[in-house]
Amino acid sequence: MDSERILTQLRAEGYEISPQYQDADLVVVNTCGFIDEAVQESLDAIGEALAENGRVIVTGCLGAKAGAAGGNLITETHPKVLAVTGPHATQEVMQAIHRHLPKPHDPFLDLVPEQGIRLTPRHYAYLKISEGCNHRCSFCIIPSMRGDLVSRPIGEVMREAESLVKAGVKELLVISQDTSAYGVDIKYRTDFVNGRPVRTRMTELCEALAALGVWVRLHYVYPYPHVDEVLPLMASGKLLPYLDIPFQHSHPDVLKRMKRPASGEKNIERVAAWRAICPDLTIRSTFIVGFPGETEAEFEHLLEFLQAAQLDRVGCFTYSPVDGAAANALANPVPEEIKLERLDRFMRLQETISEARLRRWVGRRVRVLIDGVDADEGQLIGRTTADAPDIDGVVRISPDPNSRHPIPAAIGEFAMVDIVDSDAHDLHAIYFKGDKQ
Ligand code: SF4
């Protein structure tokens, strides 16, 4: 989102964007400082930009990070960068750019599409509803880099959503650090959506987005009680039946050590109740194994949770200490080989669950959104309501062997397909017909 805002502003002011270091007068590097690998990757990217171009401005989370000598990590590592700003600092980045590369005289304002410049394909877009987080999970340094929760007023979010839909977007992916907490910082203040008073709150936002008639997918939802309010919208097909809920663990003591939000919720019962309302609900989650102090019994609790919850899509990481995170000081770190062994047991169990969950789709005729083409295989690549782009699986769509007509490669369009097979991650389908046929 930050990159997109900066790109939009640059284009609005008449700057041209170059994909090559050599053709650029200046390079802007947007960094991430969340995990140590990302820090190294960002520092390497800055080094590469300095070597290839030499005139570099750095922005993003890493810009706010202190270095070993107590100064700024980036200027300590790469003293030649022209300027450094922290995250969400579009205006500061623009000021630095103006200083080092003055604005072109004749800005082609009309070249900027109404919805701005997006990095995602034209048919889906991320909609950021808030920034920062009021929680203090012990393994996470996002609040120290991005600050407490700041929600965008619902009127502003809806204006952006409407303009994206007007520009042809078919799927909106709602993102934030804590989607369930939307509006809590501004006491769910009432704002105006097309002249109508609406509270800045998750349920009201979902209702407003559902009325736009496109796919709306919710990410980073914590299982607070009010999440139940959006399930009827999912059951009636107005909101995608999809919840991305980062549970991270199941054992109450581990969750306490992690200082996780909503850790007291009875998650198995909640999942069962949601599925009773909306049987097609897809639940995606992420987990950490080998968190400091995790005992074999606590880990087995997690495996039992997985077995009982039957989640559809799951990612799992071994705990890795992040510079500056409170969890680093916790007692009894888990040895690396035990972490890896637990990861393996976790993934083997989840693979059988994911496989069984996906098999339920075989034999159904479903609507998919076409993302692309695999020319080598002669297939279209699409997604059902159960697949978020980039993180979940895909549907590989082949032509009907009994039809003499080639399938139209209508990227960004919906189509109906017949699911004929599945594996641990993806579905396989035969094309039936496109929305426009
Ligand atoms: S909820 Fe926890 S993990 Fe997520 S951003 Fe906030 S502090 Fe970090």
Residue 341's pLDDT is 97
Sign, CA torsion 151/156/158/162:
negative
Closest CA to 349 of 435, 402, 422, 287: 287
How would DSSP label each residue in 303-371?
HHHHHHH--SEEEEEE----TT-GGGG-SSPPPHHHHHHHHHHHHHHHHHHHHHHHHTTTT-EEEEEEE
Backbone φ/ψ region at 180: left (φ over 0), alpha (ψ -120 to 50), beta:
alpha
Which of 128, 139, 140, when mutated, tests ligand 1's pocket best, judged by the most ligand atoms within 8 Å of its CB? Answer: 140
- 294 alpha carbon to ligand 1 midpoint, in Å? 20
What pLDDT score does 434 carry?
75
Three-class DSSP category at 145: helix
Residue 132 near ligand 1, beta carbon < 6 Å: no
Q: Is 178 in the pocket of ligand 1 (CB under 6 A)?
A: yes
Q: What share of the chain is helix, strand, coil (3-state, %, to 5)?
A: 35, 20, 45
Residue 422 confidence (pLDDT): 97
371 and 393 Cβ atoms separated by less than 8 Å? no
Q: Alpha-carbon distance 212 to 192, whole Å?
A: 16
Q: How far is the CA of 248 from the centre of ligand 1 (A)?
A: 11
Q: Give the pLDDT confidence score for residue 11 in this predicted structure.
A: 64
- The DSSP line for 16-63 is PP-SSTTT-S-EEEEE--SSHHHHHHHHHHHHHHHHHTS-EEEEEGGG
Q: 245 with 223: CB under 8 angstroms?
A: yes
Q: Which regions in the chain score pLDDT beneath 70?
A: 1, 4-5, 8-9, 11-15, 33-35, 91, 103-118, 262-265, 409, 436-437
pLDDT score for 231: 97
pLDDT recorded at residue 191: 96
Report in angstroms the alpha-carbon separations of 436 from 267, 367, 395, 412.
41, 13, 19, 12
Q: Which atom of ligand 1 is nearest to the CA of 134?
A: 6
Question: What number of residues does the chain have?
Answer: 437
Of 32, 131, 133, 219, the one to substitute when testing ligand 1's pocket (max ligand atoms within 8 A of C-beta) is 133
**Is 147 touching ligand 1 by the criterion CB < 6 Å?**
no
**Do residues 9 and 94 lie in contact, with contact meaning Cβ atoms separated by under 8 Å?**
yes
Question: Can you tell me which residue has the tokens 């309302």?
Answer: 277
Pairing of the two strands 395-398 and 379-383? antiparallel
413 neighbors 436 (Cβ within 8 angstroms): yes
3-state secondary structure of 209: helix
Note the pLDDT of residue 109.
Answer: 38
What distances in angstroms separate CA 83 from CA 40, 46, 96, 121, 188, one per listed residue?
19, 12, 6, 30, 37
CB 361 within 8 A of CB 419: yes
**Contacts of residue 296, Cβ cutoff 8 Å, sequence gap at least 6:** none
Read off the tokens for 211: 């009325």
Which of 35, 144, 177, 184 to mutate for ligand 1's pocket (most ligand atoms within 8 Å of CB)?
Answer: 177
Among protein residues, the one whose CA lies closest to atom 4 of ligand 1? 177
- What DSSP character marks residue 391? T
Instruction: Say how many Å lie between the CA of residue 259 and the centre of ligand 1.
Output: 9
The pairing of beta strand 124-128 with beta strand 150-151: unpaired
pLDDT for 312: 96
* CA–centroid distance, residue 414 to ligand 1 (Å): 35
Which two three-digit tokens encode residue 184?
């809590």
Q: What is the pTM of this model?
A: 0.77
- 177 pocket-lining for ligand 1 (C-beta < 6 Å): yes
SS3 419: strand
Would you state the pLDDT for residue 211?
96
Residue 177 alpha carbon, nearest atom of ligand 1: 5
Ligand 1 pocket residue status of 143, Cβ below 6 Å: yes
